[in-house]
Structure 1
């Protein structure tokens, strides 16, 4: 759906849905930091029962954080994650449950998007490495010192995928963190913690929703349970609405604040909108202290309150003289379904509708206008009524010509303006006033007595480049310090070493800034001497035929109609699949949309005659998914024989792993917005080749490739603890295979209203010592935790 676009639309249209989070900070007394006591009331005036963490929204920011240097080891990533979760826990302070969900194996419909992202990431990383090497050589030719490149375990973020060694170690690290907090933090003592790691199939947010759906339909569930869900994806808002739970909040970083329309959401700078963004990196100015550490304020957080959004939607969808009594819960379902048309993770973007062009407002206006004649709601729980959907989307399609014509005019204006501004920049008309010769104070003015007394010269000379002047000024500072009365040789040496380190640090920061600039410039089609020609020309007569010719390879009117029918069938299947996924879970693990492009809104006709059915099937194993989504550049994360299937030129499936591929800009400005035209995986061929090498896995690799269950942790003082202890006493002597089949039903009165079954995990459910998997953190020597499946 596009996080910045949807969240921005929501916060602008319904400003009261977001509330700033009040954070309580740890205090420092005589140099000792006193942690926040989370057992005390929440300073936000809300008490939450359950906190759910979509862990991929934590793992990725910790892998490449914005407010600190990038980590180089997995241990640093884990420590960052522990701090991250601590901060979220302090904000929310759940009283009953903390549910931590890591993405497991995804449905095939999602894997195509994952494959595109990971191939693009590998391609971008290779381009960035080549550009960085070029800049380093340029710096060396100029005699500018740079610190050596650091070896890093985190250079390939593709390892954040089920089945990799990183994900296995991450699970152990999170288990250690849970043991640490449940043993020693008073705010954790009476809560249950569920960890659903990467070996449990399903996307993190959908595992959370499956848990909520399962609980609310069983006895003992409190309908007034207060839920809080943390995550970065826009679809979490839709998923929260789909639960029909009133007491629900989404916790997230502030990405857009109403009233900040002049701030660009692409580069984060004020003074222009995204449509006018040239992708320039913000200049560093006072962002580093004397030690070179980043001084970046903590990102603020907001609660997006679903109950307030529901009130807005109820007001928004008021209709005079409705044909029957309105059921607001059905309106909510229809709103969620309509939003699928502007984007989701499982279907390509429909060319008709763009959030930034007001697409959601258009959908809502058409819905209200057509509602009396539709004869009912678009959906019935998880099932779309295709006749009504056709009526609705055809009404939307009637606006297509106007939408495309307006888009073409705006795109043309933007292109002309940007070319004009770039031409001015080349002529030097818009030089930054700080570097214009007529505004530079010559450094010679400051020579003489002030320089001899240690005064720092002006930052620029009249002649020479900025880099040359920086070098001269550093030497001048050094000379000034050495000539100061009372200075010693040793002090001068220390000063010189500090200057050298500072210089290297400055050079490194400048290289990073130049690298960002260079990569952004290369990705901008307005900088290309031979920009990709727009052959479809949406808005000009004949755009539909040209679209199917260019995007689908159709050549005759008969081929166009044949492809259109199949595209519409598969796209409609996709809409039904997504609706089912949101409301009841996966209805087919194998189904996927087999095209790179979507149909037009006006193409969705004759839907009532379509026969839509799904077969559930089974999820891929973790290594199967890795083989389906990884490029060859990430083959290092797979076992040797699997790796060879991706990299050996004689591999029967080597065609699945192209080193280069076409990126269709499809009317977009930046290359990262384009469509990666990768070949779709032939599942039968892939699994047949994998089966031939599966026997080569070591026991540890086989464990990483297996399907597991959620893990439940409680403190020894929790009412559930005796149940786990009793289960272990009765069946702990059995072999792992047999004990894993033993299930005991939970008593909701003892579990705080939670239903389900508990089973025994392999090993001791309460090990007296839990070894730390993270360097620098101590072992837990007096563990009081109980753990079950």
Structure 2
């Protein structure tokens, strides 16, 4: 699930949309004055943090030892936010969003990841058991135990402590940091339902088209998930950038490690390590307005029969990309981004646009008749793709055998792993060979005869169609059903999408799980310590009526892939009614503290007492200080956007003081805050109103940053690259620096389409000068142009 390889594809295809972020030398620390002009030449109004993208690397950073305590994690999170804030420097709002309880469709992915994490940890533990026994014999203390990353889930004690730490951090920065004093901060922690990035996008959607809304608000969002790009496009906000690490361009400094490092009791050793980890990071901005420019060229419809609307083309692009992967549905088997699936989708879309009658979507509404036409056109390429994939698989196996043979002949051990990897990647279904569709359904959907195949095929298609409608609604309006999920581990084939008009698509909104309910739905028994004792028994007691939901061993289906992390985790789906029924039987055993952790809450808004919004908050509190409703419920007031930099919504108060004089530190080694000048209240967004997926009126558009010379020629479809080797040879033989990238690609493309005809294929001596040829650059250019003219 997810959209693997999408960002890499985008950077290669639309390179101008990505620019390196500029950070001051000391931006990794907390000494930067963020009130000064932004060194990137852009001033951002609002900065949104997908906090889970920060929490995870702080909890288990790659290439180094893990933190030993929660305090280590919290301090690392503070350092990371410092670094990101110093790069973006928002002028109006910082919104920190942590994943809360997710819709059921997302829980299945979370369940798979957490069970897989537990399985990997168990396997690793078994490998290190011998070394642990050696430690024990020598009287040494084993250092192998690590914090369980599965506790990064709503409802756990860790998430509650993290929220408390972030409350303290915001007070600390707003009381002392000049760049923080003039902004608003919203913290949406794990007690607020919804995925972090979707809480952010919901906030953006609900601010649009209301009094005080500024259509030229400059947004920046941090996060690594590729679906952030889709969500940003779906907002139709022009001034939108996504900040993320450049995972391919970390600084070439030595990798710091905790190995051999003496760890002080206050955890400063880990914090020091993490500062070095951050200093090795390089960041990039992906500018959505430039990506829109690229798409306006890339999705140009030949001879359109309807008026072309870029906003609707972009919505259709978002929709098409659902078929190559998202967090809620498995991708269609024939569509892999690494095999040029997005290029194929766009080619078919442009070719079929007029024939299918126009756009596939209208905001969250999906035209199923046109979608059927579109997917059937995709299905026509399935057999060729599978045949090409089978050919590539055989070639890879041959190379691997040769590698293994050479390794053995040299007397070098370690080839066993290669052989195991090769065997695990074998595709038992043999897609592309006669009978592949029947074998697929029998193997993956566990049916045995034609009647069962037909039934499961139709049901899988209907549920998949429901899924794409569900996801579009989620991206464009918000959750339309908390309980809906796709009930299979695999997707149907594109060629199976028939009769879509007969499906009646409707959803019941329902309500989100409680935090402990979600923990029971997604955690393995190995992480049961994150739950109250009465809940643990349901996960671990052999006599538990729901023990089947928590297998300690399960199948990992490589599904034709080569790497273990790509395997399909075939866990049983949770029976929601059965699960909740058993949970309700033990819910009465919860303590008051556990009941609080198991409840849902709302966002918290922070402003400095010097902010003009604070005067409205104080007057509201003063007027309601004797209101008896404060003892039973929160009291709310509509925000005047004139006092909040255009932000709409409601402030809510309770019996808690909005400006306590002192803030105690929940993190060891960090001082308490005295003379606090920060005000905090609950915040609720404006009432729901439909999202208008168009560029808002009054937007000042950027100058066109992309022209036709920046557009690469349409790539050769992956399954049609029958002369790939010849193409590479020709590219190697072309003179260096003689033509620009797009023209070079066009030449290679033309040569392959000509199937290396006699003139080119014979490669007569002198036709294509080698790199060290003495022919000067001008003559080389003339020769290339002449070749192009002849081919055209």
The answer to whether TM tops 0.5 is: yes
Matches within 5 A, 1:370-519: 370-428=352-410
Deviation at 1:535, TM superposition (A): 2.8
Instruction: Give deviations 1:689-714, integer Å, cap 9, x for gaps.
Output: 11111111111111111110000000
Contact 1:632–1:657, Cα closer than 8 Å, also in 2: yes
Q: CA deviation at 1:761?
A: 3.9
Deviations 1:531-578 (A, max 9, x none): 576331101011001111111122221211111110000000000000
What is the alpha-carbon distance in structure 2 between the residues aligned to residue 539 and residue 757 of structure 1? Answer: 58
1:536 aligns to what? 429
- Verify the 8 A CA contact 1:104 1:201 in the aligned structure 2: yes
1:235 aligns with 2:231: no
Residue in 2 that maps onto 1:362: 344
**Pair 68,430 (structure 1): closer, same or farther in 2 beyond 3 Å:** closer
Q: Name the CA shift for 1:770/1:560 in 2 (closer, same or farther; >3 Å).
A: same
Q: In 1, Cα distance between the equivalents of 2:429 and 2:664?
A: 61
Distance 2:390 2:240 in 1: 41
Match of 1:133 among 129, 136, 141: 129
Mapped contact 2:517–2:580 kept (Cα < 8 A): yes
- After the TM superposition, which of the residue ranges 205-214 and 126-135 deviates more from structure 2? 126-135
Q: Which residue matches 1:569?
A: 462
Greater Cα offset, 67-76 or 42-51:
67-76
CA distance in 2, matches of 1:65, 1:392: 43
Residue 514 of structure 1 is matched in structure 2 by: none
SS in structure 1 at match of 2:354: helix
CA 1:34 to 1:685, structure 2 compared with 1: closer, same or farther past 3 Å? Answer: closer
Task: Give the drift of 1:319.
Answer: 2.3
Aligned partners of 2:178 and 2:6: how far apart in 1? Answer: 38
Mapped to 1, the partners of 2:257 and 2:166 lie a distance apart of 33
Partner residue in 2 for 1:16: 16
Q: Does the 8 Å CA contact 1:587/1:614 hold for their aligned counterparts?
A: yes
The one of 307, 321, 332 aligned to 1:350: 332
Inter-CA distance 34–544: structure 2 relative to 1 (3 Å threshold): closer
Is 1:787–2:779 an aligned residue pair?
A: no
Match of 2:477 among 576, 581, 584: 584
CA deviation string 1:111-144 (max 9, x = no partner): 0111111100000000011112235568999xxx
Q: Which residue of 1 aligns with 2:760?
A: none
- Residue 171 (structure 2) aligns with: 179
Question: How big is the shift at 1:529?
Answer: 9.5
Q: Post-superposition shift, 1:287?
A: 8.1
Q: Distance in 2 between matches of 1:103 and 1:291?
A: 33
Q: Deviations over 1:565-619 (max 9, x none)?
A: 1000000000000000000000000000011110011111111121100000000
Quick one: distance in 2 between partners of 1:570 and 1:146?
58
1:298 matched to 2:294? no
Please state how far the C-alpha of 1:381 moved relative to its aligned partner: 0.7
CA change 1:227–1:531 in 2 (3 A) is closer
Q: Tell me what 2:489 maps to.
A: 596
Tell me how far apart the structure 1 counterparts of residues 219 and 633 of structure 2 sit (CA, whole Å). 31
1:156 equivalent to 2:114? Answer no
Contact 1:200–1:709 (Cα < 8 Å) also in 2 = yes
Any stretches of 5+ residues in structure 2 without a counterpart? 263-271, 683-792
2:609 to 716, 723, 741: 716
**Counterpart-to-counterpart distance in 2, 1:687 and 1:34:** 46
SS in 2 for 1:51: strand
Note the 1:59-74 alignment, pairs <5 A: 59-66=55-62, 68-74=64-70
In the other structure, the counterpart of 2:653 is 760
Structure 1 residue 723, shift from structure 2 partner: 1.7
Residue 427 of structure 1: CA displacement?
2.9
Q: Give 1:232 shift.
A: 1.0
SS in 2 for 1:99: strand
The two structures, once aligned, show a CA RMSD in angstroms of 2.6
Deviation at 1:9, TM superposition (A): 0.2
Q: CA deviation at 1:782?
A: 1.1
Given the alignment, which residue of 302, 311, 326 partners 2:293? Answer: 311
Matched position secondary structure for 2:5: helix
**C-alpha distance in 2 between matches for 1:703 and 1:725:** 27
Partner secondary structure for residue 707 of structure 1: coil
Q: Structure 1's 289 and 668: CA in aligned 2 closer, same or farther, altered over 3 A?
A: closer
Given that 2:631 and 2:654 are in contact with CA atoms closer than 8 Å, whether structure 1 keeps it comes out as no
The alignment partner of 1:61 has SS state of: helix
Distance in 2, matches of 1:174 and 1:713, equals 12
Find the aligned partners of 1:106 and 1:253 in 2 and give their Cα distance.
25
Quick check: 2:132–2:142 contact (8 Å CA) kept in 1? no
Q: 1:303 & 1:155 partners in 2: Cα distance?
A: 32
Contact 2:332 2:493 in 1 (8 A): yes
Distance in 2 (CA, whole Å) between partners of 1:177 and 1:44 is 26
Match of 1:435 in 2: none
- Deviation for aligned residue 1:372: 1.3
The CA distance in 1 between the partners of 2:317 and 2:196, in whole Å, is: 23
1:326 aligns with 2:308: yes
SS at match of 2:95: strand
Instruction: Give the deviation of 1:672 after TM superposition.
Output: 2.2
Cα deviation, residue 249, structure 1: 0.1
Q: Which residue does 2:104 correspond to in 1?
A: 108
> In structure 2, the residue corresponding to 1:119 is in which secondary structure?
helix
TM superposition shift of 1:241 = 0.3
| CA 1:769–1:93: 2 relative to 1, 3 Å | same
- Cα distance change on mapping 1:596 and 1:589 into 2, 3 Å: same
Which SS does the other structure have where 2:673 is aligned? coil
TM-score (ref. length: structure 1): 0.81
Shift of 1:27: 9.0
Which of residues 63, 71, 75 in structure 2 aligns to 1:75?
Answer: 71
Give the aligned partner of residue 49 of structure 1: 45
Q: CA deviation at 1:285?
A: 9.1
Q: Distance in 2 between matches of 1:726 and 1:740?
A: 19
TM-score after normalising by structure 2: 0.81
Q: Check the 8 A contact 2:175/2:181 in 1, yes or no.
A: yes
Q: Is 2:204 aligned against 1:222?
A: no
Separation (CA, whole Å) in 1 of partners of 2:677 and 2:251: 50
1:123 aligns with 2:119: yes
**Residue pair 1:732, 1:760 contacting (<8 A) in 2 also:** no
Name structure 1 gaps, 5 residues minimum.
258-267, 271-281, 432-517
Q: Distance in 2 between matches of 1:584 and 1:178?
A: 30
Cα distance change of structure 1 residues 34 and 244 upon mapping to structure 2, 3 Å threshold: closer
Matched with 1:650 is 543
Closer, same or farther in 2 for the Cα pair 1:252/1:18, shift >3 Å? Answer: same
Alpha-carbon shift at residue 634 of structure 1 (Å): 0.4
3-state SS, counterpart of residue 187 of structure 2:
strand
- Alpha-carbon distance between aligned partners in 1 of 2:69 and 2:177, rounded to the nearest angstrom: 27
Distance, in Å, in 1 between the alignment partners of 2:432 and 2:654 is: 61
SS of residue matched to 2:217:
coil
Separation in structure 2 between the aligned mates of residue 753 and residue 530 of structure 1, nearest angstrom? 59
In the alignment, which residue of structure 2 is the partner of 1:460? Answer: none
Distance 1:764 1:312, change over 3 A: same
